[in-house]
Amino acid sequence: MTWGCRGPTTAARQVPGLPVPRPAQLAWQQAGFGILFDYDLHLFDDVRYVQARNRREPPEDPGIFDPTALDTDQWLAAAAAAGARFAILTASHETGFRLWPSAANPFSVANTPWRGGRGDLVGEFVASCRRHGIEPGIYLGARWNARLQVLDFRVQPGSPLTQEAYNRLIEREVEEICTHYGPLFELWFDGGILTPQDGGPDVLPIFERHQPDCLYYHSDQRADARWGGTESGTVGDPCWATIDLAAARSKVWDAAKRELLSHGDPDGEDWCPAMADAPLRNHEWFWEPDDEHKLYPLEQLVEMYFASVGRNATLILGATPDRRGLVPDADFERLRELGRAVRAALGEPVASRAAEGSELVLDVPGDRPFDVVVLREDIRYGERVRAYVVEARLTGDTWNPIAGGTCIGHQRIHRLPATRAPQVRVRIERATATPLLRSFELRRSVS
Q: Which one of 3.90.1150.10, 3.40.640.10, 3.40.50.620, 3.20.20.80 gives the CATH number of domain 23-346?
A: 3.20.20.80
Supply the pLDDT for residue 7.
Answer: 46
Exposed, middle or buried: residue 39 (CB in 10 Å: 0-12, 13-18, 19+)?
Answer: buried
Q: Is 44 helix (H, G, I), strand (E, B) or coil?
A: helix
Supply the pLDDT for residue 252.
Answer: 84
The answer to whether 407 and 383 have CB atoms below 8 angstroms apart is yes
Query: For residue 350, what are the contacts with CB-CB under 8 A and spacing of at least 6?
Result: 364, 365, 368, 369, 370, 442, 443, 444
Q: Which CATH superfamily groups domain 348-444? A: Galactose-binding domain-like (2.60.120.260)
Strand duo 423-431 + 359-363: pairing: antiparallel
Supply the pLDDT for residue 12.
Answer: 52
Within 27-185, strands assigned E span 33-37, 86-92, 135-140, 150-151, 154-155
Q: What is the dihedral of CA 157, 163, 164, 170, to 10 degrees?
A: 130
Quote the CA–CA distance of 228 and 95 in Å, as a whole number: 26
Q: Is 76 helix (H, G, I), strand (E, B) or coil?
A: helix
The total of other beta-carbon atoms located within 10 Å of residue 23's CB is: 11
DSSP 293-354: GGBPPHHHHHHHHHTTTTBT-EEEEEE---TTSS--HHHHHHHHHHHHHHHHHH-EEEEEEE
Supply the pLDDT for residue 258.
Answer: 94
Phi first, then psi, for residue 136 (nearest 5°) are -90, 140
The answer to whether 356 and 431 have CB atoms below 8 angstroms apart is no
The answer to whether 90 and 39 have CB atoms below 8 angstroms apart is yes
Instruction: Provide the residue type at 6 as one letter.
Output: R
Instruction: Provide the residue type at 412 as one letter.
Output: R
Instruction: Provide the residue type at 444 as one letter.
Output: R
Quote the CA–CA distance of 130 and 154 in Å, as a whole number: 36
Phi first, then psi, for residue 97 (nearest 5°) are -75, 140
Written as tens digits, the pLDDT of the chain (447 aa) is 333 334 445 445 778 999 999 999 999 999 999 999 999 999 999 999 999 998 999 999 999 999 999 999 999 999 999 999 999 999 999 999 999 999 999 999 999 999 999 999 999 999 999 999 999 999 999 999 999 999 999 999 999 999 999 999 999 999 999 999 999 999 999 899 999 999 999 999 999 999 999 999 999 999 999 999 999 999 999 999 999 999 988 888 899 999 999 999 999 999 999 999 999 999 999 999 999 999 999 999 999 999 999 999 999 999 999 999 999 999 999 999 999 999 999 999 999 999 899 999 999 999 899 999 999 999 999 999 999 999 999 878 899 999 999 999 999 999 999 999 999 999 999 999 999 999 999 999 998
Question: What are the boundaries of each domain within the chain?
Answer: 23-346, 348-444
Q: Is 406 helix (H, G, I), strand (E, B) or coil?
A: coil
